[in-house]
Amino acid sequence: ATSTHNSITLTWTEVENAKKYNVYTNTEELVATVSATSYTIENLDANTGYCYKVSAVNGEYETDPSEVYCRITLEAPETRNIVFKLTDSYGDGWNGGSLTITYHGNKTETMTISSGSEYEQTIEIECNTEVRVVYTAGSYAYENSFTVSYDDGTIIYSGNYNSNTDKTFIVE
């Protein structure tokens, strides 16, 4: 078994003639039925012990469960709150412009100002994570600017329609 701060992956040896496998908690609660020889239990609490066992199934026949596999999830990683502040100098929104934030490789947030002069959003991101910020211009892009900072006010960088439109940084 392997673990992260919020998941445990169980892996076991294939059982001859098994069509599927039942994954149970050590208190006999069925967690999942799978056809593969591994399974990841997600959305677990950090730094917490969990125990599981597995049985093989072929039709109506189910083997006795395996020995109990116990694992402790890892400590939760340190995080920082990153503040994204968008501004429109005219006060009529970004007119189709947007700021796209990508982190953890595949999580994406897209922000804009629909109307008015300001929008602010805070995202909690793990330290040592690469974050990419891409500004896409709409109409009247010269009215647009943005600031990326830590929640303590330390500015990571700022940009507008013609500077820092595609920037990557590491959360410290």
Residues 6+ apart with CB under 8 A from 18: 56, 57, 58, 63
Nearest to 135 by CA among 63, 92, 87, 171: 87
Q: What is the pTM for the complete model shown?
A: 0.64
Q: How far apart are CA 54 and CA 38, in angstroms?
A: 10
Query: Tens-of-pLDDT digits for all 172 residues of the chain?
Result: 899 989 999 999 999 999 999 999 999 999 999 999 999 999 999 999 999 999 999 999 999 999 999 999 999 889 999 999 999 999 999 999 999 999 988 899 999 999 999 999 999 999 999 999 999 999 999 999 999 999 999 999 999 988 879 999 999 9
